[in-house]
A and B are shown apart, each in its own frame.
Chain A
Amino acid sequence: MANIIGAVTTSHIPAIANAMANKAEETPYWKPFFDGYPPVRKWLNDKKPDVIVLFYNDHGLEFFIDKKPTFAIGVADEYHNSDEGWGIATIPPVTGESELSWHIANSLVEDGFDMTICQEMKVDHGLTVPLSLMWPGNEYGHVKVIPVCINCEQHPMPQPKRCYALGQAIGKAIESFDSDMTVAIFGTGGLSHQLDGEGAGTLNRKFDLECMDKLVESPEELTTYSNLDLVKIGGAQTVELNMWIAMRGVLRGKVTELHRNYHAPISNTGAGLLLLEHEMPN
């Protein structure tokens, strides 16, 4: 069976890509954010996972609201980034893992998660910013990425408990894949923030820190929130926490926190970073 060795959560906001492009990592504004990343990069470079299953949301690059999948999975050999309209640089192609992707897709539908299965899928900053962050200079070509996209843009959105269950089903699928490959899981986006309306600029540091604690120790507590709860507590886009919750659902075995960082604000958001090690259940 494929071996799930750990997980990372990270912000994915476009401003990070601009900061890297402008070499602003050491400026007072950005330093407390970027200083969190070297231990995670080192872990990834030491452990060299073969595959990353990456939970993200598409902010209107691949999917428009003409047809909006609740859950989508990429099954391609390669993914491309593209112009999103407001000027972050596009990044080189991302390598896929078609065989494991199809295995996961088959297993998910068998288990009642009726995924949209994508052989072509443009990936936006939700997926690309985390890769650029983990492998500076976009040196990620050796890692195979499986994109899992969760609707966080249009209500009704899948609820936290459903996203957690999706993660559990993906964990089961990976565990049943006949291979000795190693897999790491990325949960991206969040934490508290609100971009739209008179409530723009909503942030909730206390809630973000609680979420990070619970994500490690008692993730099922997070599944008792509804999306509307998250909107009220942390702002409209706090629903991106669902990607973190889905990530955590994948980890059925023993989880050890190796590293964390939290800094707010980064642009309009609370930016959390977690590195978790995972031992497979017996």
Chain B
Amino acid sequence: MTANDPTQPVPGTYLFDGNMAKKGYGLNKMCFSFNEQSARDEFNKDPDAYCAKFGLTEAQIKAIHERDIIGLLQQGGSIYYVAKFAGLLKLNMQDIGAIQTGMSLEEFKAMLVKRGSGEE
């Protein structure tokens, strides 16, 4: 949890700063490559080989395997690049919002509606 991380001042939020940018460089570089269809195809053919090409750490590879969005953020992933990995999995921002908050998609959407209307 971010609550225990003194470098992360906002609970539930992983500020993408210099520490994270350094830690997640290879991971983000791999996800940046997913702008290209050929890279997405290459990843899909052999995810492990593709991760190795970008020098991902074991923890990053594990989070990729498990589609663990929070894990990817903790390992230095930037949401904007992680979103490209999510896109490759055919998940949109609301899908990954639900995954990160441990809600069902419908629960997550209902929470947004409540907040959007000012009820919460």
- By a beta-carbon cutoff of 8 Å, the part of chain A in contact with chain B is 15, 59-61, 64-66, 82-87, 153-156, 194-206, 228, 231-232, 235-236, 263-265, 267-268, 270
Contact = CB atoms under 8 A, between A and B. Distances in A.
Contacts of A264: 112, 115-117
A84 B100 contact: no
A231 B15 contact: yes
B13 A194 contact: yes
B36 interface: yes
B115 A236 contact: no
A267 B13 contact: no
A267 B118 contact: no
A265 B115 contact: yes
A82 B84 CA distance: 13
B86 A83 contact: no
B70 interface: yes
Instruction: Name the 7 nearest CB pairs between A and B, nearest first.
Output: A86-B87, A199-B12, A264-B116, A196-B79, A85-B84, A198-B12, A265-B112
A267 B95 CA distance: 10
Given A85-B84, A155-B15, A200-B97, 9 more contacts: A154-B17, A195-B93, A196-B82, A198-B100, A201-B111, A205-B118, A231-B13, A236-B10, A265-B116
A153 B13 contact: no
Interface size class on chain B is 35 or more
B71 to A, nearest CB: 12
Given A195-B79, A197-B100, A205-B118, A268 B93 contact: yes
A1 to B, nearest CB: 38
Contacts of A155: 15-18
B35 interface: yes
Given A197-B14, A236-B15, A59 B116 contact: no
The interface residues of chain A, by DSSP majority, are classed as loop
Interface of B: 1-2, 9-18, 21, 25, 28-29, 31-32, 34-37, 40, 69-70, 73, 78-84, 86-88, 92-94, 96-97, 100-102, 108, 111-113, 115-118
A83 B35 contact: yes
A154 B13 contact: no
A201 B13 contact: no
A60 B112 contact: no
Contact of B80 (A59, A83, A198): A59
Contacts of A15: 92-93
Given A85-B35, A200-B100, A201-B112, A64 B9 contact: no
Contacts of B25: 65
Given A195-B97, A201-B101, A206 B116 contact: no
A267 B93 CA distance: 8
Contacts of B92: 15, 86, 267
Contact of A61 (B2, B35, B100): B35
Contacts of A84: 35, 84, 87
A29 to B, nearest CB: 10
B87 A65 contact: no
Contacts of A199: 10-13
A265 B101 CA distance: 17
16 contacts: A64-B28, A65-B28, A82-B35, A86-B87, A153-B80, A155-B15, A195-B79, A196-B79, A197-B14, A199-B10, A201-B115, A202-B115, A204-B115, A205-B115, A236-B15, A263-B116
A207 to B, nearest CB: 10
B10 A195 contact: no
A271 to B, nearest CB: 9
A96 B88 CA distance: 32
A231 B10 contact: yes
